[in-house]
Amino acid sequence: MIIGKIENGIVLDHIGAGRGMEIYKVLELDSLDCQVALIKNAESNKMGQKDIIKIDRIIDINLDAIGYVDPRITVNIIENGRLAKQSHIELPERIVNVIKCRNPRCITTIEQELPHVFRLTDRESRTYRCLYCESKADITKVRKKAKP
């Protein structure tokens, strides 16, 4: 399989095998009008298998959303066919509008315009809690970002 070289764009590397589609959805890459390649289960010396996403354009991406889904991801910015910048993602201390509070009594359920804010309370277990009601976040439920 041959995936072309990127002249200017972003490569999301070291995505856990099978998590690439989740990142694709969270970043709403389907709405882009440029080439986007999702490579699933690529061989990796370090990870065994991994997913990779190549975006043929430099765009603003939500690093907190990526870090919440998979904190091992590497973000590579490619400019003029060369690696211009490389970032290693970590678990964000706070995430906004990435996940939705599932507590029906939370103020975010009633006040629709309030942002859904969660803070990291336990790094070891990757536990996030709602800023307003302290409900524990469900790591499997990632929310699509709200349209302005």
68-113 pLDDT per residue, tens: 988 889 999 999 999 999 999 889 999 999 888 999 999 998 888 8
Domain ranges of the chain: 9-88, 93-148
CA 11 to chain centre: 13
30-60 pLDDT per residue, tens: 899 898 999 998 888 888 899 999 999 999 9
Pairwise pLDDT comparison (141 vs 18), residue with the higher score: 18
* pLDDT at residue 5, rounded to an integer: 81
Nearest to 3, CA basis, from 76, 55, 63: 55
* pLDDT at residue 139, rounded to an integer: 67
Encoded tokens for 23:
């990142």
* pLDDT at residue 145, rounded to an integer: 43
Q: What is the phi-psi region of residue 91: left when phi exceeds 0, alpha when psi lies from -120 to 50, beta otherwise?
A: beta
pLDDT value at 17 more than 80 = yes
pLDDT value at 6 more than 70 = yes
Kind plus residue range of the DSSP H or E element containing 88: strand 82-88
Mean of the pLDDT values across residues 108-135?
A: 93
User: Rounded to an integer, what distance in angstroms lies between the CA atom of residue 142 and that of residue 24?
Assistant: 12
pLDDT value at 61 more than 50 = yes
Q: DSSP letters of 128-144?
A: EEETTT-PBP-TT--PP
* pLDDT at residue 132, rounded to an integer: 96
CATH class label, 9-88: alpha beta
* pLDDT at residue 44, rounded to an integer: 84
**Yes or no: domain 93-148 corresponds to CATH 2.40.50.140:** no
User: Rounded to an integer, what distance in angstroms lies between the CA atom of residue 53 and that of residue 73?
Assistant: 10
